[in-house]
Amino acid sequence: GTKGKGSQFCVIGLGRFGSSLAKELVHLGHEVLGIDRSEELVDDMSSLLTHTVCADSTDEEALRSLGIRNFDCCIVAIGGDIQASIMTAILVKDCGVKKVVVKAVTELHGRVLEKLGADRVIYPERDMGIRVAHQLVSPNLLDYIELSSDYSVAELSVPQCLSGKTLADIDPRKRYGCSIVAVNKPNGVIIAPKAEQVLEEKDIMVIIGTNDGIESFEKDVS
């Protein structure tokens, strides 16, 4: 699978997003082929990735000769040139790559990519904008993951007003319909903490629940 160690990834487009993604995959222990039509970018990345190739990804022959179909996952990270993004996505999909992830710049671009059969469409700028907005509005929010349109998991730092209280004192399940599923303390993580678990300022709690519930919890404690 693409989650195991040593998977083979192909990143097409080594702009700001693609190069950062590719470097992080290498950092996580995976093999990465980076492709870009810009010779300069390929040169810059050649010592950082497993392999780099200067090629035009809208050239079907070039893609085939690189053996794209043998990769576990291919990420198309072309933003500015929507035509190149769409053409690359369909060519890579037709090669038979198991998992094709494509970066979209607009909702419409994303809808086209979904219709072409992209396995996952990502919107880095849109999602980062949303994430940063949440963090600006609620200073205790460190990060959150949307599970569905109604439910999320959020990482919150324990504010001073909750320091010394137990989970039973706070009772988030009853008050907010949320559960604290983990508490990260300086000396380790407590998974599925018990009701008598005491929170201290600067601990990090991981909370799961409805978006509304998490929001009111955040508001009440900040």
Question: Does residue 39 bind ligand ADP (CB under 6 A)?
Answer: no
Question: Does residue 46 bind ligand ADP (CB under 6 A)?
Answer: no
Q: Determine the distance from the C-alpha atom of residue 155 to the mean position of all C-alpha atoms in its chain, rounded to a whole number.
A: 15
Give least dist CB 19 to ligand ADP, A. Answer: 8
What distance in Å separates the CA atoms of residue 213 and residue 177, rounded to the nearest whole number?
6
Question: Does residue 126 bind ligand ADP (CB under 6 A)?
Answer: no
Q: Which residue is at the shortest CB distance from ligand ADP?
A: 15
Which span sits near ligand ADP by CB under 6 A: 8-16, 135-143, 197-205, 207-215? Answer: 8-16
CB-nearer residue toward ligand ADP: 67 or 164 = 67
Give least dist CB 78 to ligand ADP, A. Answer: 4
Q: 3-state secondary structure string, 71-95?
A: CCEEEECCCCCHHHHHHHHHHHHHH
Question: Does residue 138 bind ligand ADP (CB under 6 A)?
Answer: no
Query: Dihedral sign, CA of 44, 46, 51, 53?
Result: positive
Cβ contacts of 106 within 8 Å, gap of 6 or more: none
22, 25, 37, 49: which one binds ligand ADP (CB under 6 A)? 37
How many chain residues are in contact with ligand ADP, going by CB under 6 A? Answer: 21
Contact criterion met (CB below 8 Å) for 110 and 121: yes
What distance in Å separates the CA atoms of residue 182 and residue 185, rounded to the nearest whole number?
10
- Which residue, among 85, 77, 59, has the nearest Cα to 9 in the 3D structure? 77
Give least dist CB 147 to ligand ADP, A. Answer: 27
Site string for ligand ADP, 71-100 (x = CB under 6 A): ------xxxxx--x----------------
The β-bridge partners of 204 are 157, 184
30, 36, 71, 178: which one binds ligand ADP (CB under 6 A)? 36
Q: Which of residues 55-74 bind ligand ADP (CB under 6 A)?
A: 56-58
What distance in Å separates the CA atoms of residue 155 and residue 3, rounded to the nearest whole number?
23
- Which residue, among 113, 56, 105, 51, has the nearest Cα to 80 in the 3D structure? 105
CB-nearer residue toward ligand ADP: 14 or 112 = 14
Q: Which residues bind ligand ADP (CB under 6 A)?
A: 12-18, 35-38, 41, 56-58, 77-81, 84
